[in-house]
Amino acid sequence: MPHRAPLIALGNPGRNFATAICNPALIPVKFTHPCAEDREPGRGFVDARAALRYIWGIKLLSQPRLPRRVSQFPASIVEPWRLSVAPMLDWTDSICRQVHRRLSRHALLYTEMVTSAALVRGGARHLLRFDPVEHPVALQLGGSDPVELAQAVRMGADEGYSEINLNVGCPSDRVQSGSFGAVLMKSPELVGDCLGAMRAATRAEITVKCRIGVDDQDPEQALPALLDAARGAGVKRVIVHARKAWLQGLSPKENREVPPLDYALVERMLSAYPDLKLCLNGGIATLDQAEDLLSRGFAGVMIGRAAYHQPVDILASADRRIFGQPTTDADPVAVAHDMRPVIAGHLARGGRLIGATRHILGLFAGQPGARAWRRALSEMPNGTMADFDALLDGLTQRRAA
Ligand SMILES: Cc1cc2nc3c(=O)[nH]c(=O)nc-3n(C[C@H](O)[C@H](O)[C@H](O)COP(=O)(O)O)c2cc1C
């Protein structure tokens, strides 16, 4: 064991010490010295207690061994991917995910896409921050360089994400010019290489979210080619946005609406790939529809826009209806109150009120008072906590009346 200890010294002792105090067992260790990685490929974990004894002479003898950080959150009793909220750039930030988590304990939540370049070359580790309350939460990465993606995966796993997903569906010009996202549908071999490198870098689950094809590709060939590549890399779960992306001439928004959905094609893949968990995405608007799709054999459904705009319709009864838990449905008024400390924290960090409250504009969608709620929040973009509290008081009084 003393031979392994010097590896930890190459990282940041202060950070490693802090992590070890929280979890004095097998912890992920950041190798900051490139030679260390060259010499010890794949050895991303060392025994923290031994390392600490070596470095500081500290004796941590009798603590029970805890699981590694990626699995330190209790394993869910359900399969969270049965219902997930899609990764949505600029929408599914940490505050949004905390709203969604208060509506459903079990639904799987995805981050916005974070590029491997921003993490690895840009040092933007802050993009990985999330609140532990968000678990189960998956990080989505964008990139096409296997080595860089593997490094980004290590950073994500180090932060505690339980799943890391590769984006093979985003059609934006910016993403295309970086040669990742949907354009990767044309390069299934490269996708396989990326996924293989990502898997080799962590024990967290690696998944991929793809389209059924791009441009003039035949989806009957493009989708199986992508699924073969994923399976070949050892990936067990794939999320399919069941429409093509047209890389020329359509905006990202149009690419979520114009190319027709083809659920039947994805459904045919269920029998062709029985060893893959296939999750369906695209155009799912209600929980009834989600239940129907699950009953047809999909391992999961992923919902984007409907979950964002009508979060209560999609998520408040999901624990009961999708995950079979004996719970009562979440109450949106309680959720609004529960979000108070999160919003206060956002304001304390210098954020604008609307930066947080935009994620609860739809909390009462379809219910009496929904429009007044939206208007009240929209009219106070720079409001204070007192303004928000006054709104909450109004909610409570209306309920009592
Ligand atoms: C505002 C917005 C941002 C999005 N950003 C991403 C993203 O970062 N990564 C990704 O894979 N898909 C992204 N998408 C696509 C969604 O994940 C999803 O595939 C798409 O909206 C179709 O699902 P839906 O019909 O349930 O909304 C985004 C969608 C929207 C509306």
Q: How much is the pTM?
A: 0.83
In-domain check, residue 343? yes
User: Do 157 and 299 reside in the same domain of the chain?
Assistant: yes
pLDDT digits (tens, 9 = 90+) for 115-135: 999 999 999 999 999 999 999
Inform me whether the pLDDT recorded for 8 exceeds 80: no
In-domain check, residue 74? no
Contact 370, 398 (CB under 8 A): no
Residue 400, pLDDT score: 80
The catalytically annotated residue of 96, 170, 194, 279 is 170
Inform me whether the pLDDT recorded for 55 exceeds 90: no
User: Which residue reads 């996202």 in tokens?
Assistant: 181
Q: What is the mean pLDDT of residues 241-262?
A: 95
Q: Residue 339: give its domain's CATH number.
A: 1.20.120.1460
Which atom of ligand 1 approaches the CA of 305 most closely? Answer: 27
- Give, for ligand 1, the residue of 256, 266, 287, 359 to mutate: max count of ligand atoms closer than 8 Å to Cβ: 256
Q: Considering the chain, what is the average pLDDT of its residues?
A: 85
Q: Which of 143, 134, 180 is nearest to 161 (CA)?
A: 134
Inform me whether the pLDDT recorded for 233 exceeds 90: yes
% of the chain exceeding 70 in pLDDT: 81
Catalytic, 35? Answer no
Inform me whether the pLDDT recorded for 89 exceeds 50: yes
pLDDT digits (tens, 9 = 90+) for 342-367: 999 999 999 999 999 999 999 999 99
- What domain range includes position 373? 332-400
Q: Please, how many CA atoms are within 13 Å of residue 239, restricted to the half-sphere of its CB? A: 30
User: Do 162 and 96 reside in the same domain of the chain?
Assistant: yes
Greater confidence, 51 or 219? 219
Ligand 1 in reach of 170 Cβ (< 6 A): yes
pLDDT digits (tens, 9 = 90+) for 149-168: 999 999 999 999 999 999 99
> What's the start-to-end Cα distance of the chain, in Å?
68
Q: How many CB atoms lie within 10 A of CB 201?
A: 23
pLDDT digits (tens, 9 = 90+) for 170-199: 999 888 888 999 999 999 999 999 999 999
User: Do 181 and 113 reside in the same domain of the chain?
Assistant: yes
In-domain check, residue 246? yes
